[in-house]
Amino acid sequence: MNELPPVLSLNSTTISADDINLFYETKKDFSNNTARIDLHGYSVEEAQYNVKRIIKFLYSNQYCYTIFFITGRGKHVNKKGERGILFKLFPQWLRDENISHMIEKYEPQIGVYEVTLKKKNMESQLVLKFEFLRSLAEMGLPNYQFYLGVKYYNGNGIKKNDKEAAKWFRKAAEQDLSPAQLMLGFLYMMGMGVQRDVQQGLHWYHLAARQNNSIAMKNIAYHLLTEKDYKNAKDWLYKAYEAGDAESANQIGIMYNFGIGILPAEAGDNHGKVNLGTQLLNNNNKEGIKWIREAAIEGLADAQFHLGEAYLLQGDVDEGKKWLLKSAMQDAGEPSGRAQLVIGSLTDDSKQKLEWYQKAADNDVKLAQKELAKMYRSGSYGLIKDDAKAIKLFNAAAKTIKRYGYDEKGNQYAQYILGECYELGLLKVKKNPKKDLNGIKKLQNKDIC
């Protein structure tokens, strides 16, 4: 669950045992959850007091480790004619000797400060009581509807009830919550709490997959495998792998290795060898290098990049550079672009670094576009400061593109910079509040605001 409620109402002035007992119970478990605290509407004194109070409480109980304090971006003026005063003063509050030792780090974002608390050894933590969780779910909040469904599904502290689980998963799924869509699809496929309906199950899987849910993608692929639709199964496994599910790479590698559902010309395909090899390496099995090397020798740029990266991770820098250079020199799109970026990062020669970064940016590698934009913005590495080129590269880095059949999200840092530029008119950009808001929405989708 990505979002939890503020611990207590900010209108309360003290944290008492009664407050804690009303909403929370103790459980021997740990999870790195987040809290969001909105400071809008409070005076400076009230906001400062509540920030310190909440940090003390969360640190003491290790309820969660990440807090997003929403201060606003300074568009509103207070009674004294001051603009953005909470955002400006917030870092000073964190230096207070009563709480500074509790804070691991903090980072400013657009109208928000992300505060990460230090962890300490605890035997217990606080979790929401069932009755409070249910009341939040009944208010229509999708995250809590999903959490309630999980409790019913697992029988966690209550009697297991698949029908109730399906009910609450559905409520959250209908509000477009991806994990709930995944679980509702699973229940339909298994006939748990609902009448078994494969088409309904696939319907909810597909909705979750649209939100880049790798498990939903993999489940679609496994269903297609049972239907012997190997071509589409392979395509969905690729999507799941690219979305972050390493297990899918292993399945693809097995399909290629044994020719399962693969055309004779595709058997032993080099892409399959790379997928299988990277999966083995991810599981600390050095046999993976053998598979990747076979594909790299055949000239596959993606394999050469992965082989070079694997050697670097093993400490063999010379061998790693050799294979990265082979991939980079092919200039074969995004795989070569990733190799070009790594080579650029490894060189101390400013001119060569810029050349490699430019090649990687031309191959649409988001990180390279972002780094090059920063160089043009600051005029570093011998470049002449160029705001126009910087904003062009930031735009390219921030843009979501289609890659391997799925949406590759834009670079988060670039989106943040664009939001600032359109809001404040930086880098010679004309102020445009609508574009600024679009940038903020991109960040919200990444659970930043």
Q: Which comes out higher in pLDDT, residue 268 or 76?
A: 268
pLDDT, average across residues 212-219: 90
Q: Which comes out higher in pLDDT, residue 83 or 272?
A: 272
DSSP 8-state code for residue 266: G
pLDDT digits (tens, 9 = 90+) for 95-146: 998 899 989 999 888 778 889 988 765 444 445 677 888 888 898 888 889 9
Q: Which fold has domain 129-211?
A: 1.25.40
**Strand residues in 95-168 grouped as ranges (E):** 103-108, 112-117, 125-128
Residue carrying the six token digits 């009448």: 195
Q: Which fold has domain 17-126?
A: Ribosomal Protein S8; Chain: A, domain 1 (3.30.1370)
Check pLDDT > 60 for residue 291.
Answer: yes
CA pair distance 389, 411, nearest whole angstrom: 17
Q: What is the DSSP string of 291-313?
A: HHHHHHHTT-HHHHHHHHHHHHH
Interhelix angle 334-346/301-313, rounded to 10 degrees, is 30
Q: Please list the residue range(s) of the chain that carry CATH number 3.30.1370.110.
A: 17-126
Q: Residue 185, Cβ neighbours under 10 Å: how many?
A: 29
- pLDDT band, very low/low/confident/very high, at 447 (cuts 50, 70, 90): very low
pLDDT digits (tens, 9 = 90+) for 22-56: 444 444 333 446 777 777 767 788 888 888 888 88
Among the listed residues 275, 286, 288, 284, the one whose alpha carbon sits nearest the alpha carbon of residue 249: 275
CA pair distance 308, 326, nearest whole angstrom: 9
pLDDT digits (tens, 9 = 90+) for 298-319: 888 888 999 999 898 888 999 9
Q: Please list the residue range(s) of the chain that carry CATH number 1.25.40.10.
A: 129-211
- The answer for residues whose C-beta is within 8 angstroms of residue 335's C-beta and 6 or more apart is 301, 302, 304, 305, 327
Indicate the length of the chain as a whole number. Answer: 449
Q: Residue 431, Cβ neighbours under 10 Å: how many?
A: 12
CA pair distance 182, 173, nearest whole angstrom: 8
For 84-111, b/e burial (b = at least 16 CB within 10 A) is: bbbbeebeebbeeeebeebbeeeeebbb
Q: Is 382 helix (H, G, I), strand (E, B) or coil?
A: coil
